[in-house]
Chains A and B, each alone.
Chain A
Amino acid sequence: MALLELKNIYKIYGELHALDNVSLKVEKGEWVSIMGPSGSGKSTMMNIIGCMDKPTKGEVLLDGVDISKENAKNLTAIRRDKIGLIFQQFHLVNYLTAVENVMLAQYYHSMPDEKEAMEALERVGLADRAKHLPSQLSGGEQQRVCVARALINYPEIILADEPTGNLDEANEAVVVDLFHKLHNEGTTLIVVTHDPEVAEVAQRTLVLRSGRLAKEVVNENFTGQIHFNE
């Protein structure tokens, strides 16, 4: 059974079909990239997968359970328990230190544990910057705090929206390397990106155009070989 399955998903705003009959499956432990030009429906898809929005039509199965009809309260609980979010703009709380930002996710999940939060920062190589405020961290460091926050509650899926969009090449490599580590540990990764280099690292790349799934590229064995399914 797939960890995540989208069945004939539509998201319609008036006349606009942001998503138009999209279906896909993501297996547990898989690393999938979603690519597409601006306005192709990437963010809409991410919002639906991330339980921050509901489809107009269709089913979203997470662990075999249809979450497309859940109310806002239940969606928040699902998001809290099963999904780790990484954003392009980092979205760190600027008056909390790095470790407190990580603990914030613990606080809304269960119980803040500073030791565990420090371990998460250690995994992303930021233990020595734990007591720094976001304004005292570089963009790459902020994104690593964001990764630590996403993984602190052991989510089933990590959903990253343009995670390297605001980073230079060096920091991009650090973040992609972190994703490799998480993938090797068995974490399921869905990365929305417009950067082909980042997308190509994934096992599979889905390309969206005008709300439709235009193509699916499988990067078998991470060798870079591209196969068109259409």
Chain B
Amino acid sequence: MFLRMIKGTLFRQWKKMLMIAFTIALGASLATAMLSVMLDVGDKVNQELKTYGANITVVPKEASVLNNLYDVEGEESSGAYLDENELGKIKTIFWAFNIDDYAPFINVKAQLSDGSDITVVGSWFNHHMELPTGEQLDAGITSMRSWWEIEDGNWLDEQSHEDADICMVGTVLAKKLGLKSGDSVTVKGSSSEKNLKVVGVFNAGGDEDEQIFAPLNTAQALADLDGCVDSIEVSALTTPDNELAEKAAKDPKSLTVSQYETWYCTAYVSSICYQIQEVITDSVASPVRQVANSEGAILEKTQLLMVLITILSLIGASLGICNLVTASVMERSSEIGLMKAIGAQNGSVSGLVLTEIFITALVGGVAGFFAGCGFAQIIGHTVFSSAINIRPMIIPIVAVLVVLVTLIGSIPAIRMLLRLSPAEVLHGR
């Protein structure tokens, strides 16, 4: 009987039920889209910001002390070095999968054939690594300096020019020396002299434009600094800092055990720095604050906007449901009055009306979820030029939100229904 009544109502009032389902679908679709984008936007924004460079730098402890004392971050070597052999360990930390890319640097003072001083920067370009975990990685400045404009030639390809003496030259220096790709330049370091073939001329828009960039081992050989690294730049996917992260950044020892575990197991930039320091001997890893702060601020604001849109859409849906359900109950007041007159208790009638609404909400919610997945993809492709990952956790969240919105929207109608007196509606007292 109950099912016959539900079926009868749903079919008889299909236009109204369709409107309710549509309202719920609208709210659910916006909630799905916003929540999906919100949960995925961290990675998306991080990836966007990664194109603007590293967000962590690692230097020898001694160099860090000098930098802190004199507040300088120059090219001058402090005489302390990191061990090149430990570089692979960076991909073994707890948050290894969040390490997007990294590159070591060594600055070597050298002289050109005309006697003028020059800085040769040794680094990885597209250095191939086989990690202890079995993972393979191509790391280096080719991807970390993606904004460099190659004015002549190509990016230096380490993998196809192994052991060859090649380099890239900054545009200012290239103009000064009249160099172009295919030319050679002779540089003399403290221990050896090399004739480097220019494979590309780049425009970085900074001091690099007056430097020569060569593979790490080439630069090391110039100064007999095999296995030595001045600094490492790391590009990592991070979570925006909060109070816990700020407290930990000052002193991890000030944290309680549970706080420490939470912090260590969250991809805060400070915890990733801490974990890098654990694997690189005598190192100090510190966030590049400008980038880290930008990430945090952009993420927080974007997520806040998404939350606000979600809340507003759900309030709108709730108000819509409220109007439609109340109108439906008003239209059916004589039917509801009759049910009460022939013995239906308030619970039975409320149960009937709520079941109808929840069946409608289920249809609207499912339709809204799939529509929301579509909206999320449109947002993803329009804003981030990539797909948005719809996480399974969205389903229960949206389900709970739909139930809440439907319940809240139904409250006025149910209250009206409970107050409805059969004498009033049947006899018009």
* B is a partner of A: yes
A interface list, Cβ under 8 A from B: 43-44, 46-47, 50, 52-53, 72-73, 76-77, 79-81, 85, 87, 89, 91, 93-96, 100, 103-109, 112, 149, 161
Nearest CB of chain A from residue B425's CB, rounded to whole Å? 9
CA distance A225 to B343 in the complex (A): 38
B332 and chain A: residue at smallest CB distance: A93
Q: Which chain B residues (394-427) contact chain A, with CB distance < 8 Å?
A: 421-423, 426-427
Q: Which chain B residues (346-365) contact chain A, with CB distance < 8 Å?
A: 346, 348
Enumerate chain B residues within 8 angstroms of A80, measured Cβ to Cβ: 342-343
A91 and B344 contact, CB distance less than 8 A: no
Enumerate chain A residues within 8 angstroms of B427, measured Cβ to Cβ: 43, 46-47, 52, 161
A52-B421 contact, Cβ under 8 Å, with A104-B339, A107-B1: yes
As a 0/1 sequence over residues 1 to 43 of chain B, the CB contacts with chain A under 8 angstroms (1 = contact) are 1101100110110000000000000000000000000000000
A91-B5 contact, Cβ under 8 Å, with A43-B429, A77-B343: no
Nearest CB of chain A from residue B428's CB, rounded to whole Å? 8
B12, B339, B341: the one within 8 Å of A94 (CB): B12
* B173 close to chain A: CB less than 8 A: no
A and B contact pairs by CB, cutoff 8 A, 5 listed = A76-B344, A79-B342, A91-B341, A100-B1, A100-B4
Name the residue among A53, A103, A161 with the largest chain B CB count within 10 angstroms: A53
Instruction: Give the interface size class of chain B.
Output: 20 to 34
* B271 close to chain A: CB less than 8 A: no
B4, B338, B343: the one within 8 Å of A91 (CB): B338
Enumerate chain B residues within 8 angstroms of A79, measured Cβ to Cβ: 341-343
Tally the A-B contacts, defined by beta carbons under 8 Å.
78
B2 and A107 contact, CB distance less than 8 A: yes
* B340 close to chain A: CB less than 8 A: yes
Nearest CB of chain A from residue B248's CB, rounded to whole Å? 59
A91 and B426 contact, CB distance less than 8 A: yes
A112-B342 contact, Cβ under 8 Å, with A87-B426, A94-B12: no
Enumerate chain A residues within 8 angstroms of B423, measured Cβ to Cβ: 47, 50, 52-53
* B345 close to chain A: CB less than 8 A: yes
Enumerate chain A residues within 8 angstroms of B429, measured Cβ to Cβ: 43-44, 47, 53
CA distance A171 to B340 in the complex (A): 28
Given contacts A50-B341, A95-B8, A104-B5, 7 further A-B contacts (CB under 8 A): A46-B427, A79-B343, A85-B341, A94-B12, A105-B342, A106-B1, A108-B348
B338 and A112 contact, CB distance less than 8 A: no
* B86 close to chain A: CB less than 8 A: no
A52, A93, A94, A106: the one within 8 Å of B422 (CB): A52
Enumerate chain B residues within 8 angstroms of A104, measured Cβ to Cβ: 1, 5, 339, 342
CA distance A194 to B4 in the complex (A): 37
A133 and chain B: residue at smallest CB distance: B8
A93-B335 contact, Cβ under 8 Å, with A53-B429, A103-B1: yes
Nearest CB of chain A from residue B353's CB, rounded to whole Å? 14
B8 and A96 contact, CB distance less than 8 A: yes
Nearest 8 Cβ contacts at the A-B interface:
A80-B343, A95-B8, A108-B343, A52-B423, A107-B1, A47-B423, A95-B12, A91-B338
CA distance A17 to B422 in the complex (A): 21
CA distance A161 to B423 in the complex (A): 12
B338 and A93 contact, CB distance less than 8 A: yes
B338 and chain A: residue at smallest CB distance: A91
B343 and A95 contact, CB distance less than 8 A: no
Enumerate chain A residues within 8 angstroms of B341, measured Cβ to Cβ: 50, 52, 79, 85, 91
B8 and A109 contact, CB distance less than 8 A: no
Enumerate chain B residues within 8 angstroms of A53, measured Cβ to Cβ: 421, 423, 429
Enumerate chain B residues within 8 angstroms of A96, measured Cβ to Cβ: 4-5, 8
Enumerate chain A residues within 8 angstroms of B218, measured Cβ to Cβ: none
CA distance A104 to B334 in the complex (A): 15
Enumerate chain B residues within 8 angstroms of A46, measured Cβ to Cβ: 427
CA distance A73 to B418 in the complex (A): 11
